[in-house]
């Protein structure tokens, strides 16, 4: 993705925040948002410490020399300062960053914003020691809101990746004949390469597909970047099959889950699927500007009880999406976020087809919060009912 639009958002944020003179970013998710590069290894590889700094006058990236060319290609050019590999890369990055910041402020000690909820305390303590005299303000909540409200460019990317992912799932299951063989492993891979054909990169840590039924569908499977391996056995006729794809394109994620039956649905399945469609439509009436996330959760939960749907409320009913596949706001019992226009929500409704520990029927729909409600984006098929495999291959 291009970082230009997000850099503009960050600069506007700093200019509108008189209490801070600069902003220090160190965690992988916010670095992805700010720099345009989503390095999955930053969360786990110690020697890849990266620090981004923004102020009204200047911005820079402090990174190991091994990453400098990547940031050059992303458009950072002369705003890159590098350090050589060392035993303590955090300290190396902090020292060159502190020297640059001190020179920039010319002896005047300002206030630096930092994202405390995403910065380890030991790292923060090192940062303060390297910049004596500077004040620090935790802007976690304000910066989170900045990311939650998407720009037109972000909305365009999110709609595009949602549509490509949904098309990939639909294309994969279109090739399953009613009586043909299809295993969890083969259908999972089919979803991946059909998504690849639609321009979704499916290299490691940037995509995960799943196709599960019966016992394997009774639990949530791992999400990217964690993986699980499906069974070799064929899907049984007449059983619900859950199909999921979580993918990334241009730095932004999609999170999609659909249902199918490799046969005609029986009357019980049709009744259940109809209830889930009704619940989705009700949920969409609740997602709108001014609504509080926890109130939306309570309304959906109460509606599911009234409808007799065995909803899996413990998983929540949705979340934000952007440069990470799960981010605020969360449609949960405790999130007090007030929804605003241009937030993007993945509405995730998980319910047990049978009472007790049965298959988890899960649908996920990407929603844009509009001026007076919300709209579903990315649908290739009409998902009011599960896909029914026909003699198509």
CATH code of 289's domain: 3.90.230.10
Query: What gap in Å lies between CA 162 and CA 169, rounded to an integer?
Result: 11
Query: What gap in Å lies between CA 26 and CA 151, rounded to an integer?
Result: 22
Give pLDDT, residue 38.
80
Whether residue 243 lies inside any domain: the answer is yes
Task: Please report the beta strands in 46-197, taking only residues with DSSP state E, as ranges in sequence order.
Answer: 51-55, 59-64, 80-83, 111-114, 135-138
Q: What letters, b where the CB count within 10 A reaches 16 and e where it falls short, cover 40-49?
A: eebeeeeebb
Q: What letters, b where the CB count within 10 A reaches 16 and e where it falls short, cover 185-214?
A: ebbbbbbbebbbebebebeeebbbbbbbbe
Residue 323 pLDDT > 70: yes
- As a whole number, mean pLDDT of residues 365-375 equals 97
Question: Are 208 and 350 contained in the same domain?
Answer: yes
What Å distances lie between residue 217 and 162, 181, 189, 359, 371, CA to CA? 23, 19, 17, 5, 37
Radius of gyration over every alpha carbon of the chain, rounded to an integer in angstroms: 23
Neighbouring C-beta atoms of residue 365, cutoff 10 Å: 25
Question: Are 364 and 244 contained in the same domain?
Answer: yes
Give pLDDT, residue 212.
86
Give pLDDT, residue 223.
65
- The pTM of this model reads 0.92
Give pLDDT, residue 185.
84
- As a whole number, mean pLDDT of residues 242-270 equals 91
The single residue listed with the structure tokens 């409600």 is: 373
Q: Which of 128, 148, 168 is the last residue of a domain?
A: 148
Question: Are 187 and 126 contained in the same domain?
Answer: no
Whether residue 97 lies inside any domain: the answer is yes
Question: Are 99 and 14 contained in the same domain?
Answer: yes
Give pLDDT, residue 228.
64
Question: Are 272 and 357 contained in the same domain?
Answer: yes
- As a whole number, mean pLDDT of residues 36-61 equals 83
The predicted-structure confidence for 335-346, as pLDDT tens digits, reads as follows 999 999 999 999
Residue 2 pLDDT > 60: no
- As a whole number, mean pLDDT of residues 229-252 equals 84
Q: Which of 132, 148, 164 is the last residue of a domain?
A: 148
Whether residue 67 lies inside any domain: the answer is yes
Query: What gap in Å lies between CA 89 and CA 123, rounded to an integer?
Result: 11
Whether residue 357 lies inside any domain: the answer is yes
CATH number at residue 63: 3.40.350.10
Residue 225 pLDDT > 90: no
| Of residues 299, 325, 322, 301, the one with CA closest to residue 311 | 301
Task: Please give the structure tokens belonging to residue 300.
Answer: 């959906």
Question: Are 208 and 323 contained in the same domain?
Answer: yes
Per the structure, the count of domains in the chain is 2
Give pLDDT, residue 60.
94
Residues in the chain: 393
Question: Are 119 and 206 contained in the same domain?
Answer: no
In the structure, what pLDDT confidence band is assigned to residue 257 with cuts at 50, 70 and 90? very high
Residue 364 pLDDT > 60: yes
Question: Are 307 and 261 contained in the same domain?
Answer: yes
Portion of the chain with pLDDT greater than 90, in percent: 63
Lowest model confidence (mean pLDDT) among 67-71, 292-296, 316-320, 332-336: 67-71
DSSP letter (8 states) at residue 106 = T
Q: Which of 130, 148, 166 is the last residue of a domain?
A: 148
| Of residues 327, 332, 339, the one with CA closest to residue 288 | 339
Task: Please give the structure tokens belonging to residue 254.
Answer: 């999609």
Question: Are 142 and 197 contained in the same domain?
Answer: no
Residue 359 pLDDT > 70: yes
Higher pLDDT, 390 or 111: 111
Give pLDDT, residue 44.
64
Q: Considering the chain, what is the average pLDDT of its residues?
A: 90
Q: Quote the domain boundaries for residue 16.
A: 4-148
Element (H, E) at 193: helix 184-197
Query: What gap in Å lies between CA 50 and CA 93, rounded to an integer?
Result: 7
């Amino acid at each position: 993705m291009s970082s230009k639009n997000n850099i503009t958002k960050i600069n506007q944020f700093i200019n509108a925040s008189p209490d801070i003179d600069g902003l220090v970013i160190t965690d992988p998710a916010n670095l992805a948002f700010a720099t345009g590069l989503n390095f999955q290894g930053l969360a786990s590889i110690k020697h890849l410490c990266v620090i981004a700094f923004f102020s009204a006058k200047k911005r820079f990236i402090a990174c190991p020399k091994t990453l400098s060319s990547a940031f050059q290609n992303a458009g950072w050019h002369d705003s890159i300062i590098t350090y050589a590999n060392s035993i303590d890369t955090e300290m190396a990055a902090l020292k060159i960053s502190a020297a640059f910041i001190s020179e920039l402020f010319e002896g005047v000690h300002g206030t630096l914003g930092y994202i405390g909820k995403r910065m380890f305390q030991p790292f923060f303590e090192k940062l303060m020691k390297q910049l004596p005299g500077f004040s620090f303000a935790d802007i976690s909540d304000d910066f989170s809101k900045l990311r939650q409200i998407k720009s037109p460019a972000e909305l365009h990317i999110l709609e595009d990746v949602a549509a490509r992912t949904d098309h990939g799932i639909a294309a994969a299951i279109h090739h399953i004949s009613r009586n043909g063989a299809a295993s969890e492993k083969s259908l999972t891979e089919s979803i991946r390469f059909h998504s690849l054909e639609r321009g979704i990169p499916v290299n490691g840590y940037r995509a995960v597909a799943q196709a599960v039924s019966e016992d394997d569908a009774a639990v949530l499977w791992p999400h990217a970047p964690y993986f699980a391996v499906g069974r070799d056995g064929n899907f049984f006729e007449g059983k619900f099959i859950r199909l999921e794809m979580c993918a990334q394109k241009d730095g932004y994620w999609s999170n999609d889950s659909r249902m199918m039956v490799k046969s005609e649905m029986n009357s019980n399945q049709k009744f259940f699927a109809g209830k889930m469609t009704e619940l989705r439509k009700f949920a969409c009436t609740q997602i709108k500007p001014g609504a509080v996330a926890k109130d939306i959760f309570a309304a959906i939960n109460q509606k599911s009880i009234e409808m007799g749907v065995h909803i899996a409320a413990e998983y929540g009913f949705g979340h934000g999406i952007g440069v990470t596949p799960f981010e605020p706001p969360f449609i949960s019992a405790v999130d007090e976020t007030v929804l605003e226009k241009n937030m993007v929500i993945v509405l995730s409704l998980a319910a047990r087809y049978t009472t007790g520990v049965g298959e988890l029927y899960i649908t996920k729909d990407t929603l844009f919060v509009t001026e007076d409600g919300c709209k579903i984006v990315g649908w290739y098929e009409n998902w009011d009912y599960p896909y029914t495999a026909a003699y198509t291959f």
